[in-house]
Amino acid sequence: MTAPRGLRTAARLPDRLGSIRTRMALLYSILLFGLAAVGVGGIYLSLSRALADEPVSREARYGDLVADDPGDGAEIVPDERARVARLVAFEEEVNRRALDRLRSQSFTALIALFLGSLGVGWYVAGLVLRPIARISAVARDISATDLSRRIDLGGPADELRDLADTFNDMLARLDKAFESQRRFVQEASHELRNPLAVLRANLDVVMADPNASADDFRAAGEVAGRAAARMSALVEDLLLYAHHERTAARREPVDASVVVVETVEDFAATATAAGVDLRSEIAPTLLVVGDPVALRRALANLLSNAIRVSDVGGLVRVTAGHDSEMVWMSVLDDGPGLGPDEQERVFQRFWRGDRASAREAGRSGLGLAIVRQIAEGHGGQVTVRSTVGIGSTFTVWLPRFLES
Protein backbone atom coordinates (compact mmCIF):
# COMPACT_ATOMS: atom_id res chain seq x y z
CA MET A 1 0.00 0.00 0.00
CA THR A 2 1.60 3.25 -1.10
CA ALA A 3 1.17 6.74 0.29
CA PRO A 4 -1.22 9.05 -1.57
CA ARG A 5 0.22 11.31 -4.22
CA GLY A 6 -0.43 14.42 -2.14
CA LEU A 7 1.59 13.04 0.78
CA ARG A 8 4.48 12.05 -1.49
CA THR A 9 4.55 15.55 -2.98
CA ALA A 10 4.47 17.14 0.47
CA ALA A 11 7.26 14.83 1.63
CA ARG A 12 9.52 16.16 -1.15
CA LEU A 13 9.02 19.76 -0.07
CA PRO A 14 12.09 19.90 2.23
CA ASP A 15 14.33 19.22 -0.78
CA ARG A 16 12.93 22.35 -2.41
CA LEU A 17 12.75 24.63 0.60
CA GLY A 18 16.45 25.57 0.32
CA SER A 19 16.07 26.92 -3.19
CA ILE A 20 12.72 28.51 -2.35
CA ARG A 21 14.25 30.23 0.66
CA THR A 22 17.17 31.47 -1.46
CA ARG A 23 14.81 32.88 -4.08
CA MET A 24 12.63 34.52 -1.44
CA ALA A 25 15.69 35.99 0.29
CA LEU A 26 16.94 37.42 -3.00
CA LEU A 27 13.49 38.78 -3.75
CA TYR A 28 13.23 40.51 -0.38
CA SER A 29 16.81 41.79 -0.71
CA ILE A 30 16.20 43.22 -4.17
CA LEU A 31 12.99 44.83 -2.99
CA LEU A 32 14.60 46.45 0.08
CA PHE A 33 17.69 47.45 -1.85
CA GLY A 34 15.59 48.95 -4.63
CA LEU A 35 13.57 51.02 -2.17
CA ALA A 36 16.74 52.23 -0.42
CA ALA A 37 18.43 53.03 -3.73
CA VAL A 38 15.43 55.07 -4.86
CA GLY A 39 15.43 56.97 -1.57
CA VAL A 40 19.19 57.71 -1.59
CA GLY A 41 19.14 58.62 -5.28
CA GLY A 42 16.25 60.99 -4.72
CA ILE A 43 18.12 62.72 -1.90
CA TYR A 44 21.26 63.02 -4.04
CA LEU A 45 19.43 64.46 -7.05
CA SER A 46 17.45 66.90 -4.93
CA LEU A 47 20.58 68.17 -3.18
CA SER A 48 22.56 68.44 -6.41
CA ARG A 49 19.80 70.51 -8.02
CA ALA A 50 19.58 72.76 -4.97
CA LEU A 51 23.36 73.33 -4.94
CA ALA A 52 23.54 73.91 -8.69
CA ASP A 53 21.21 76.87 -8.20
CA GLU A 54 24.06 78.79 -6.41
CA PRO A 55 21.74 80.90 -4.23
CA VAL A 56 24.50 82.38 -2.02
CA SER A 57 26.73 83.68 -4.81
CA ARG A 58 23.77 85.02 -6.74
CA GLU A 59 22.47 86.97 -3.75
CA ALA A 60 25.99 88.23 -2.92
CA ARG A 61 26.58 89.34 -6.52
CA TYR A 62 23.21 91.05 -6.64
CA GLY A 63 23.90 92.88 -3.39
CA ASP A 64 27.31 94.02 -4.48
CA LEU A 65 26.00 95.29 -7.78
CA VAL A 66 23.19 97.26 -6.15
CA ALA A 67 25.49 98.80 -3.54
CA ASP A 68 28.09 99.93 -6.10
CA ASP A 69 25.68 100.98 -8.88
CA PRO A 70 26.74 104.54 -9.89
CA GLY A 71 23.52 105.15 -11.72
CA ASP A 72 21.86 104.54 -15.02
CA GLY A 73 24.31 103.88 -17.78
CA ALA A 74 27.37 103.65 -15.47
CA GLU A 75 29.72 100.70 -15.58
CA ILE A 76 30.52 98.39 -12.62
CA VAL A 77 34.04 98.55 -11.31
CA PRO A 78 36.16 95.65 -12.64
CA ASP A 79 37.57 94.85 -9.18
CA GLU A 80 34.09 94.27 -7.92
CA ARG A 81 33.42 91.87 -10.77
CA ALA A 82 36.58 89.94 -9.93
CA ARG A 83 35.55 89.72 -6.26
CA VAL A 84 32.16 88.33 -7.21
CA ALA A 85 33.75 85.83 -9.60
CA ARG A 86 36.02 84.57 -6.82
CA LEU A 87 33.02 84.20 -4.56
CA VAL A 88 31.19 82.16 -7.21
CA ALA A 89 34.22 79.94 -7.78
CA PHE A 90 34.60 79.38 -4.06
CA GLU A 91 30.95 78.34 -3.70
CA GLU A 92 31.19 75.99 -6.71
CA GLU A 93 34.20 74.29 -5.12
CA VAL A 94 32.36 73.91 -1.83
CA ASN A 95 29.32 72.44 -3.61
CA ARG A 96 31.49 70.07 -5.66
CA ARG A 97 33.21 68.73 -2.56
CA ALA A 98 29.87 68.35 -0.78
CA LEU A 99 28.42 66.40 -3.71
CA ASP A 100 31.54 64.21 -3.97
CA ARG A 101 31.32 63.37 -0.29
CA LEU A 102 27.57 62.74 -0.54
CA ARG A 103 28.13 60.47 -3.56
CA SER A 104 30.80 58.40 -1.82
CA GLN A 105 28.73 58.12 1.35
CA SER A 106 25.67 57.17 -0.70
CA PHE A 107 27.54 54.33 -2.39
CA THR A 108 28.80 53.14 0.99
CA ALA A 109 25.28 53.32 2.39
CA LEU A 110 23.88 51.40 -0.58
CA ILE A 111 26.46 48.62 -0.17
CA ALA A 112 25.65 48.40 3.53
CA LEU A 113 21.93 48.39 2.76
CA PHE A 114 22.39 45.63 0.19
CA LEU A 115 24.23 43.42 2.67
CA GLY A 116 21.70 44.24 5.36
CA SER A 117 18.81 43.51 3.02
CA LEU A 118 20.32 40.09 2.27
CA GLY A 119 20.35 39.28 5.96
CA VAL A 120 16.85 40.62 6.51
CA GLY A 121 15.55 38.78 3.44
CA TRP A 122 17.10 35.50 4.58
CA TYR A 123 15.65 35.91 8.07
CA VAL A 124 12.19 36.86 6.82
CA ALA A 125 12.20 34.00 4.31
CA GLY A 126 13.06 31.64 7.16
CA LEU A 127 10.16 32.96 9.23
CA VAL A 128 7.77 32.51 6.32
CA LEU A 129 8.97 29.02 5.39
CA ARG A 130 9.38 27.64 8.90
CA PRO A 131 5.71 26.53 9.21
CA ILE A 132 5.90 25.01 5.73
CA ALA A 133 9.04 23.15 6.74
CA ARG A 134 7.17 21.77 9.75
CA ILE A 135 4.30 20.65 7.53
CA SER A 136 6.69 18.94 5.12
CA ALA A 137 8.55 17.26 7.99
CA VAL A 138 5.30 15.74 9.24
CA ALA A 139 4.41 14.67 5.70
CA ARG A 140 7.80 12.99 5.37
CA ASP A 141 7.15 10.89 8.49
CA ILE A 142 3.68 9.84 7.35
CA SER A 143 3.12 6.58 5.55
CA ALA A 144 -0.03 4.91 4.33
CA THR A 145 -0.03 2.65 7.41
CA ASP A 146 0.41 5.46 9.95
CA LEU A 147 -1.74 8.50 9.36
CA SER A 148 -2.13 9.41 13.03
CA ARG A 149 0.40 12.27 12.92
CA ARG A 150 -0.97 15.81 13.00
CA ILE A 151 0.58 19.26 12.59
CA ASP A 152 0.48 21.29 15.80
CA LEU A 153 1.29 24.64 14.22
CA GLY A 154 -0.29 27.10 16.63
CA GLY A 155 0.24 30.81 16.23
CA PRO A 156 -2.17 33.37 14.79
CA ALA A 157 -5.06 32.39 12.55
CA ASP A 158 -3.35 33.30 9.28
CA GLU A 159 -3.00 31.63 5.88
CA LEU A 160 -0.31 29.21 7.08
CA ARG A 161 -2.47 28.17 10.02
CA ASP A 162 -5.32 27.53 7.58
CA LEU A 163 -2.93 25.45 5.45
CA ALA A 164 -1.92 23.34 8.46
CA ASP A 165 -5.55 22.87 9.53
CA THR A 166 -6.51 21.87 5.99
CA PHE A 167 -3.64 19.38 5.92
CA ASN A 168 -4.80 17.93 9.26
CA ASP A 169 -8.34 17.57 7.92
CA MET A 170 -6.99 15.80 4.84
CA LEU A 171 -4.99 13.42 7.05
CA ALA A 172 -8.08 12.68 9.13
CA ARG A 173 -10.09 11.83 6.01
CA LEU A 174 -7.28 9.68 4.64
CA ASP A 175 -6.89 7.91 7.98
CA LYS A 176 -10.60 7.16 8.05
CA ALA A 177 -10.57 5.94 4.44
CA PHE A 178 -7.55 3.66 4.97
CA GLU A 179 -8.97 2.28 8.20
CA SER A 180 -12.27 1.55 6.46
CA GLN A 181 -10.38 -0.12 3.62
CA ARG A 182 -8.39 -2.30 6.03
CA ARG A 183 -11.53 -3.39 7.87
CA PHE A 184 -13.28 -4.10 4.59
CA VAL A 185 -10.42 -6.30 3.37
CA GLN A 186 -10.29 -8.17 6.68
CA GLU A 187 -14.03 -8.75 6.76
CA ALA A 188 -14.18 -9.80 3.11
CA SER A 189 -11.25 -12.18 3.60
CA HIS A 190 -12.96 -13.71 6.61
CA GLU A 191 -16.22 -14.18 4.74
CA LEU A 192 -14.48 -15.80 1.76
CA ARG A 193 -12.40 -18.06 3.97
CA ASN A 194 -15.39 -20.01 5.29
CA PRO A 195 -16.79 -21.36 1.97
CA LEU A 196 -13.26 -21.99 0.73
CA ALA A 197 -12.53 -24.05 3.86
CA VAL A 198 -15.74 -26.06 3.40
CA LEU A 199 -14.96 -26.60 -0.28
CA ARG A 200 -11.40 -27.75 0.35
CA ALA A 201 -12.25 -29.95 3.34
CA ASN A 202 -14.95 -31.88 1.49
CA LEU A 203 -12.82 -32.36 -1.61
CA ASP A 204 -9.78 -33.44 0.44
CA VAL A 205 -11.83 -35.98 2.36
CA VAL A 206 -13.41 -37.59 -0.69
CA MET A 207 -10.17 -37.56 -2.68
CA ALA A 208 -8.18 -39.09 0.17
CA ASP A 209 -10.63 -42.00 0.60
CA PRO A 210 -9.68 -44.81 -1.80
CA ASN A 211 -13.05 -46.49 -1.15
CA ALA A 212 -15.12 -43.41 -1.97
CA SER A 213 -18.15 -44.22 -4.05
CA ALA A 214 -19.95 -42.25 -6.69
CA ASP A 215 -22.48 -41.16 -4.06
CA ASP A 216 -19.65 -39.78 -1.93
CA PHE A 217 -18.32 -37.79 -4.88
CA ARG A 218 -21.82 -36.60 -5.69
CA ALA A 219 -22.40 -35.44 -2.08
CA ALA A 220 -19.01 -33.67 -2.03
CA GLY A 221 -19.86 -32.04 -5.35
CA GLU A 222 -23.16 -30.77 -3.99
CA VAL A 223 -21.42 -29.26 -0.94
CA ALA A 224 -18.78 -27.72 -3.22
CA GLY A 225 -21.52 -26.31 -5.45
CA ARG A 226 -23.26 -24.64 -2.52
CA ALA A 227 -19.95 -23.22 -1.30
CA ALA A 228 -19.18 -21.91 -4.78
CA ALA A 229 -22.65 -20.36 -4.99
CA ARG A 230 -22.08 -18.60 -1.67
CA MET A 231 -18.71 -17.28 -2.88
CA SER A 232 -20.26 -16.15 -6.15
CA ALA A 233 -23.02 -14.23 -4.35
CA LEU A 234 -20.47 -12.70 -1.98
CA VAL A 235 -18.19 -11.61 -4.82
CA GLU A 236 -21.09 -10.02 -6.67
CA ASP A 237 -22.17 -8.13 -3.55
CA LEU A 238 -18.58 -7.06 -2.91
CA LEU A 239 -18.42 -5.61 -6.40
CA LEU A 240 -21.72 -3.79 -5.86
CA TYR A 241 -20.54 -2.49 -2.51
CA ALA A 242 -17.27 -1.23 -4.01
CA HIS A 243 -19.20 0.36 -6.89
CA HIS A 244 -21.58 2.24 -4.60
CA GLU A 245 -18.73 3.52 -2.42
CA ARG A 246 -18.10 5.97 -5.24
CA THR A 247 -20.43 8.89 -5.75
CA ALA A 248 -23.07 8.02 -8.30
CA ALA A 249 -21.94 9.34 -11.66
CA ARG A 250 -25.40 9.20 -13.21
CA ARG A 251 -27.53 12.05 -11.96
CA GLU A 252 -30.90 12.83 -13.50
CA PRO A 253 -34.44 13.63 -12.36
CA VAL A 254 -36.14 10.34 -11.45
CA ASP A 255 -39.75 9.64 -10.59
CA ALA A 256 -39.36 7.42 -7.54
CA SER A 257 -43.01 6.31 -7.78
CA VAL A 258 -42.21 4.61 -11.11
CA VAL A 259 -39.19 2.92 -9.54
CA VAL A 260 -41.30 1.61 -6.66
CA VAL A 261 -44.11 0.39 -8.92
CA GLU A 262 -41.73 -1.48 -11.22
CA THR A 263 -39.80 -3.04 -8.34
CA VAL A 264 -43.00 -4.23 -6.66
CA GLU A 265 -44.10 -5.79 -9.96
CA ASP A 266 -40.72 -7.54 -10.24
CA PHE A 267 -41.18 -9.16 -6.81
CA ALA A 268 -44.83 -10.11 -7.19
CA ALA A 269 -44.02 -13.64 -8.36
CA THR A 270 -41.41 -14.12 -5.63
CA ALA A 271 -43.87 -13.06 -2.95
CA THR A 272 -46.55 -15.39 -4.36
CA ALA A 273 -44.13 -18.32 -4.38
CA ALA A 274 -43.22 -17.60 -0.74
CA GLY A 275 -46.89 -17.33 0.27
CA VAL A 276 -46.52 -13.67 1.21
CA ASP A 277 -49.12 -11.00 0.49
CA LEU A 278 -47.37 -8.07 -1.23
CA ARG A 279 -49.26 -4.77 -1.23
CA SER A 280 -48.31 -1.24 -2.20
CA GLU A 281 -49.53 2.29 -1.57
CA ILE A 282 -47.64 4.76 -3.74
CA ALA A 283 -48.21 8.47 -4.18
CA PRO A 284 -47.80 9.77 -7.74
CA THR A 285 -44.90 11.91 -9.01
CA LEU A 286 -42.14 11.54 -6.43
CA LEU A 287 -39.26 13.39 -8.10
CA VAL A 288 -35.68 12.94 -6.90
CA VAL A 289 -32.27 13.37 -8.53
CA GLY A 290 -30.17 10.22 -8.85
CA ASP A 291 -29.52 6.90 -10.53
CA PRO A 292 -32.73 4.91 -11.15
CA VAL A 293 -30.82 1.61 -11.39
CA ALA A 294 -29.20 2.15 -7.99
CA LEU A 295 -32.50 3.20 -6.41
CA ARG A 296 -34.21 0.10 -7.81
CA ARG A 297 -31.41 -2.05 -6.38
CA ALA A 298 -31.81 -0.50 -2.93
CA LEU A 299 -35.57 -1.10 -2.88
CA ALA A 300 -35.06 -4.63 -4.26
CA ASN A 301 -32.71 -5.47 -1.37
CA LEU A 302 -35.29 -4.26 1.15
CA LEU A 303 -38.09 -6.21 -0.54
CA SER A 304 -36.00 -9.37 -0.78
CA ASN A 305 -35.21 -9.25 2.95
CA ALA A 306 -38.83 -8.49 3.87
CA ILE A 307 -40.18 -11.45 1.86
CA ARG A 308 -37.48 -13.74 3.25
CA VAL A 309 -38.22 -12.99 6.94
CA SER A 310 -42.01 -13.15 6.52
CA ASP A 311 -43.86 -16.34 7.31
CA VAL A 312 -46.31 -17.99 4.95
CA GLY A 313 -49.45 -15.88 4.95
CA GLY A 314 -47.50 -12.83 6.09
CA LEU A 315 -47.85 -9.30 4.76
CA VAL A 316 -45.25 -7.06 3.11
CA ARG A 317 -46.41 -3.52 2.43
CA VAL A 318 -44.57 -0.99 0.30
CA THR A 319 -45.43 2.68 0.64
CA ALA A 320 -43.98 5.83 -0.92
CA GLY A 321 -44.73 9.51 -0.48
CA HIS A 322 -43.19 12.87 0.25
CA ASP A 323 -43.24 15.88 2.53
CA SER A 324 -42.04 19.41 1.84
CA GLU A 325 -38.36 18.41 1.57
CA MET A 326 -37.97 14.61 1.35
CA VAL A 327 -39.27 11.66 -0.63
CA TRP A 328 -39.57 8.41 1.29
CA MET A 329 -39.92 4.74 0.26
CA SER A 330 -40.82 2.29 3.01
CA VAL A 331 -40.96 -1.52 3.18
CA LEU A 332 -42.92 -2.95 6.11
CA ASP A 333 -42.95 -6.63 7.08
CA ASP A 334 -44.51 -8.63 9.92
CA GLY A 335 -41.44 -10.79 10.49
CA PRO A 336 -39.62 -11.52 13.76
CA GLY A 337 -38.45 -7.93 14.17
CA LEU A 338 -35.16 -6.60 15.54
CA GLY A 339 -34.05 -5.72 19.04
CA PRO A 340 -32.49 -2.35 19.90
CA ASP A 341 -28.93 -3.70 19.62
CA GLU A 342 -29.67 -5.33 16.28
CA GLN A 343 -31.18 -2.13 14.90
CA GLU A 344 -27.88 -0.34 15.55
CA ARG A 345 -25.85 -2.99 13.70
CA VAL A 346 -28.24 -4.02 10.94
CA PHE A 347 -26.59 -1.74 8.33
CA GLN A 348 -23.05 -2.87 9.11
CA ARG A 349 -21.08 -4.88 6.56
CA PHE A 350 -21.48 -8.66 6.81
CA TRP A 351 -23.94 -8.40 9.70
CA ARG A 352 -26.43 -11.27 9.78
CA GLY A 353 -28.88 -11.93 12.56
CA ASP A 354 -29.20 -15.64 11.72
CA ARG A 355 -25.55 -16.14 10.73
CA ALA A 356 -25.60 -19.92 10.29
CA SER A 357 -28.73 -20.07 8.15
CA ALA A 358 -27.66 -16.98 6.23
CA ARG A 359 -24.39 -18.56 5.17
CA GLU A 360 -26.17 -21.76 4.27
CA ALA A 361 -28.57 -19.78 2.10
CA GLY A 362 -25.66 -18.01 0.39
CA ARG A 363 -26.40 -14.51 1.72
CA SER A 364 -23.41 -12.19 1.98
CA GLY A 365 -24.64 -9.81 4.67
CA LEU A 366 -23.99 -6.80 2.41
CA GLY A 367 -27.55 -6.13 1.25
CA LEU A 368 -28.48 -3.52 3.84
CA ALA A 369 -24.99 -2.01 3.76
CA ILE A 370 -25.48 -1.46 0.03
CA VAL A 371 -28.88 0.13 0.70
CA ARG A 372 -27.25 2.56 3.13
CA GLN A 373 -24.51 3.40 0.63
CA ILE A 374 -27.03 4.10 -2.12
CA ALA A 375 -29.16 6.30 0.13
CA GLU A 376 -26.19 8.30 1.43
CA GLY A 377 -24.75 8.54 -2.08
CA HIS A 378 -27.96 10.30 -3.11
CA GLY A 379 -27.78 12.73 -0.20
CA GLY A 380 -30.33 10.84 1.90
CA GLN A 381 -30.40 8.14 4.55
CA VAL A 382 -32.04 4.86 5.48
CA THR A 383 -33.76 4.25 8.81
CA VAL A 384 -35.32 1.28 10.57
CA ARG A 385 -38.13 0.99 13.10
CA SER A 386 -38.72 -2.46 14.51
CA THR A 387 -40.37 -4.30 17.37
CA VAL A 388 -39.48 -7.86 18.25
CA GLY A 389 -42.32 -10.21 17.37
CA ILE A 390 -44.24 -7.57 15.38
CA GLY A 391 -42.10 -6.63 12.40
CA SER A 392 -39.82 -4.02 10.91
CA THR A 393 -40.11 -0.94 8.70
CA PHE A 394 -37.14 0.13 6.59
CA THR A 395 -37.39 3.58 5.02
CA VAL A 396 -35.18 5.24 2.42
CA TRP A 397 -35.25 9.04 2.59
CA LEU A 398 -34.13 11.07 -0.44
CA PRO A 399 -34.04 14.84 -1.08
CA ARG A 400 -37.04 15.94 -3.05
CA PHE A 401 -36.48 17.51 -6.48
CA LEU A 402 -38.64 20.59 -6.92
CA GLU A 403 -39.13 21.67 -10.51
CA SER A 404 -38.65 25.38 -11.06
Q: By the 8 A CB rule, do 333 and 316 touch?
A: yes
Range 362-381 average pLDDT: 79
- Which stretches within 246-362 are classed as H helix? 256-266, 268-273, 292-309, 340-345, 355-360
Q: What is the Cα–Cα distance from 395 to 265, expressed in whole angstroms? A: 19
Query: Mean pLDDT in the chain?
Result: 76
Higher-confidence position of 322 and 145? 322
Angle at 183 between CA 178 and CA 184, to 5 degrees: 95
**DSSP per-residue string spanning 128-160:** HHHHHHHHHHHHHH-BTTB--------SSSSHH
Range 263-290 average pLDDT: 91
Q: Identify the weakest region by mean pLDDT among 7-11, 211-215, 228-232, 346-350.
A: 7-11
Q: By the 8 A CB rule, do 337 and 387 touch?
A: yes
**DSSP per-residue string spanning 375-393:** HHHTT-EEEEEEETTTEEE
* pLDDT single digits (tens) 110-168: 788 778 777 777 777 777 777 777 777 777 777 655 677 777 777 667 777 787 788 88
Q: What's the start-to-end Cα distance of the chain, in Å?
A: 48
Q: By the 8 A CB rule, do 320 and 392 touch?
A: no
Q: Identify the weakest region by mean pLDDT among 235-244, 282-291, 334-343, 351-360.
A: 351-360
Q: What are phi and psi of 321, to 5 degrees?
A: -165, -165
C-alpha 152 chain-centroid distance:
19
Q: Give this prediction's pTM.
A: 0.51
Q: What is the Cα–Cα distance from 197 to 189, expressed in whole angstroms? A: 12
* pLDDT single digits (tens) 223-262: 777 777 767 766 776 776 666 555 545 678 999 999 999 9
C-alpha 63 chain-centroid distance:
83
Give the pLDDT of residue 296.
87
What percentage of the chain reaches a pLDDT higher than 70? 72
149-177 b/e (C-beta count within 10 Å ≥ 16 → b) = ebbebeeeeeebeeebeebbeebeebbee
Q: By the 8 A CB rule, do 296 and 261 touch?
A: no
> Hey, what domains does the chain have and what are their CATH numbers?
5-146 (no CATH), 248-404 (3.30.565.10)
Phi-psi sector, 275: left (phi>0), alpha (psi -120 to 50), beta: left
